[in-house]
Structure 1
Amino acid sequence: MGRRSDHSRDELRRLIIEEGHRHMAEVGFARFSAREVAKRIGYTIGTLYNVFGSYDRMVLAINTRTFALWAEHLRRLLAETREDPIRTLVEAYFSFARDNRNAWMAIYDHRLPPDVPMPDEEAAQRGVLTEIVTREVAAVLPEVSAETVAGLARSLIATVHGHCLFALNGTFALMGEEHPLDMALARVRESIAAAQGTAAPTA
């Protein structure tokens, strides 16, 4: 029997996201089941779709929670270790992905249909991760323009992501590469050094 009167709409949304995220972390996107989430929280699957509007929007919200946890992971490690924030960022990227593999991979396994736009609120929450990286890159490149730093930060995220993904899916192991994190950090430092060498004072 459903418990449709037990929670307000906002409470129900949080409940679905929390339980959905727990389920996603356990089984990954390929085996994720909205019906299982509904069963776990004691509501009908129709209630889930009524709250989010569609399966895709529900998964989007679940994956956004992963982004929020990821950003908090970066903040915490940066607060604990300020000696080398760039290394800390790279290590935090790898450690979060490693320790939350299914939920992390689900971010990239799920694709919104072309006719379903990313809600502004979801985009803003996901953008916090990039903001953290951009802030730390800006701190080591004080003479570089904000626009250049922002572009470099996005490129560095892509670089680290590629190395992290290859480490998790076994590609680097097949190549015989035993230190993908160190390799990623080296590429990041090279890019930052190149930006430092070409920097012109900002107005």
Structure 2
Amino acid sequence: MGRRSDHSRAELEAMILAEGHAHMAQIGFARFSAREVAKRVGYAVGTLYNIFGSYDRLIAAINTRTFDLWAEHLEKRLATGSDDRIAALVEGYFSFASENMNLWTAIYDHRLPPDMPIPGALAQRRGALTDIVVREVTAALPPGARDRAPRLARSLVATVHGHCIFALTGSFALLGEDAPLDMAIARVRESLHAAGAA
């Protein structure tokens, strides 16, 4: 495909991200094709790399967009008015993953090369998701234990993630477990109780 210049750099970035994200949602990381995204936006594949710098940075940007949507999803769940915010948080984790399986797994399937740190702006946006968890864990803990909230929150994310991936891949079903969400909520409550939460 020949070179084009119909759009500004910002417009191109937005177009590529939108189409790349849609493509990832449809087929997942293993079958993702930058050439297909270029075809969808009507530009040469080199334009994608010119805008994002490399294939890895393109995927990192697409995955960061998923983090943005995930954070929005959690905030909406928490805004439903439920008094049980911890359960709403865990349920939001599970529901986003199940409703966006290809996008969610792409976050964990893609690895940046060791010598390519994630750009600061993307890292900050991704951090918004953890910030939500830290906020809710902090609120659940007594004042004297709140300095431990960030570390505990990271551990709880790992716990919930493990339960979620086992549920979505069928591993829990093979083990005869039919209520992984309830198990995840129970493990989070146990950890919070051990840390001093009521």
Same fold (TM over 0.5): yes
Superposed CA offset, 1:45-96 (max 9, x none):
0000000110000000000000000000001111113311000000000000
CA contact (8 A) 2:38 2:44 kept: yes
TM-score scaled by structure 2?
0.96
Q: Following superposition of structure 1 onto structure 2, how do residues 41-60 of structure 1 map, counting pairs within 5 Å?
A: 41-60=41-60
Give the conservation status (yes or no) of the 8 Å contact 1:163–1:184.
Answer: yes
Deviation at 1:140, TM superposition (A): 1.2
- Mapping of residues 10-25 of structure 1, within 5 Å: 10-25=10-25
In structure 2, the residue matched to 1:90 is 90
CA contact (8 A) 1:138 1:144 kept: no
How big is the shift at 1:128?
0.3
* Stretch moving more, 73-82 or 49-58: 73-82
Instruction: Say whether the 8 Å CA contact 1:134–1:149 is kept in structure 2.
Output: yes
Q: Secondary structure at the match of 1:10?
A: helix
Deviation (angstroms), 1:4: 2.6
Deviation at 1:147, TM superposition (A): 3.3
* Counterpart in the other structure of 1:149: 149
Counterpart for residue 72 of structure 2:
72
TM-aligned CA deviation for residue 156 of structure 1 = 0.5
- Is residue 164–residue 181 contact of structure 2 (8 Å, CA) maintained in 1? yes
1:190 matched residue in structure 2: 190
Output the CA distance in 2 between the equivalents of 1:98 and 1:2: 40
Structure 1, unaligned stretches of length 5 or more? none
Answering whether residue 112 of structure 2 is matched by residue 112 of structure 1, we say yes
The alpha-carbon distance between structure 1 residues 8 and 146, as it changes in their structure 2 partners (threshold 3 A), is: farther
TM-score by length of 1: 0.94
Q: Distance in 2 between matches of 1:3 and 1:83?
A: 55
Alignment partner of 1:186: what SS? Answer: helix
Instruction: Give the percent of matched residue pairs that are identical in Structure 1 and Structure 2.
Output: 67
Match of 2:132 in 1: 132
SS of alignment partner, residue 196 of structure 1: coil
When the two chains are superposed, the root-mean-square deviation of aligned CA atoms in Å is: 1.4
One-letter code of the match for 1:50?
Answer: N
**Partner SS for 2:79:** helix
Instruction: Say whether residues 1:102 and 2:96 are aligned partners.
Output: no
CA apart distance, 1:3: 6.7
**Number of aligned positions between the proteins:** 198
Residue 146 of structure 1: how far off its partner (Å): 4.0
**1:3–1:42: 8 Å Cα contact kept in structure 2?**
no
Runs (5+) with no aligned partner, structure 2:
none
- Asked whether the 8 Å contact 1:87–1:185 carries over to 2, the reply is yes
